Structure 1
Amino acid sequence: MTELRSAFSLPSATATRRLLDGDIKGDLLIDISLGPMVHQVFQIDVFFRDILLFRFMERGIIELQKWRNAQDDAFDWTHISSTMAELLGDSKQWELKDVLLKSKIKVVKCDIEKENLTDPLQLPQADCVTSVLMLDNISTDEDNYMSNLGKFGKFVKPGGHLLLVGALEGTYYMVGNQRMHLFKYDENFVKDALAKEGFTVTQCEVLPSKAGADLTDYKGIVFVAARKDK
């Protein structure tokens, strides 16, 4: 987790504040992200009653359960809890925020090869779906990206939102000594892909890469908020 966090920057505080001031809220939030990352959920969890974390790898699920159960060997997300509490205007309440978030979360094992990621479970559509780096990691080409985006988009109800964080123009990132795949695309591609899936982009922000060249070769992190029109 430390290596992964070092390779990728988080969405900016500006983007986070825009979300906090916006209309992205509702009963259900679904997160479909890479590994056991949860920082993206800390940013907007206060606006949702229930949160489902879709995860594909058993190792990531195990790590998330350790964190939820406050096990001694769990990854420490305190730095995110305290930062988000400060953005919400009460930095002293980060411990309470952490407890409340964990009480909302359920982890769901998924299969990317299936048309319904949660098959045989039939889950309701969400008011918001968030995804960090997952499409970049699992997609092999443009057609495969579109197919995966379509699967993710099916979980967004009409009028709901899809929030994507991706790595632009990247081909790899390092986790320890292991080289991990990134599908290479640019800002216009992801905007066009969302439009084809029935989404209207309401916000897009690109942050230049700050990672060391030995960790990854992406040029920037893109944050996109899109509303599902149909």
Structure 2
Amino acid sequence: MSHHEIHRSNRVGWLRASVLGANDGIVSTASLIIGVAAASTSHESILLAGVAGLVAGAMSMAAGEYVSVSSQSDTEKADLVLERKSLEEDFGFEQRELAEIYQQRGVEPRLAQQVAEQLMEHDALGAHARDEIGISVDGDARPIQAAFSSAGSFVVGAALPLGMAWLAPVNLLIVIVALSSLVFLVLLGSVAARAGGASIISGAIRVTFWGALAMALTAGVGRVFGVVA
């Protein structure tokens, strides 16, 4: 009887970026729309603010992810350069260092030495990158891909409350955008938790709570400044 386990750790990177982008798109755009609407402006002004928020948010997400992932990639490359230099200068020391790492993980000393020798004969830099530094020699950081993925998921998320604002009558706009956005957040949290193998209820509550808080605070600010104006 075959035994097959489904691990989800490999989904962490793209799942984090997608959920973060979509969540920010829903929350920031809905909050902006509700805040502007609470200030008693026209329907056209509300939609214009929503579109501006969508464009600005998508560009911000793309730039942020690109800079963040590029910095990660630069750091990993610098570590690999140092490790390659160490291997060239003192191969024996690096081999003993790798064996000690395996011993600390519970491998018997003699076997740890044999494993270190064989792995370094096959790919010395790869073995040290993986087991000493904790990165891949090939590098998993893709700045351009991260930027487009983040911006794309933001646009999808932002389009949901913006679409509801476009369809809703002005007198019901705040209620419709707020309630529909909360529904979208519940679905997003549930799908993300499902994909990551976590509790669906916890995932939905976590995402929805912070989204509701952001919208409530923004509505309060819009109401205050609308009254003052």
Rg comparison, structure with higher value: 2
TM-score above 0.5, yes or no: no
Higher strand share: 1
Q: Shorter chain as normaliser: what TM range?
A: under 0.3
Q: What TM-score results when the alignment is normalised by the length of structure 2? A: 0.22
More helix by share: 2
TM-score of the aligned structures, taking structure 1 as reference length: 0.22
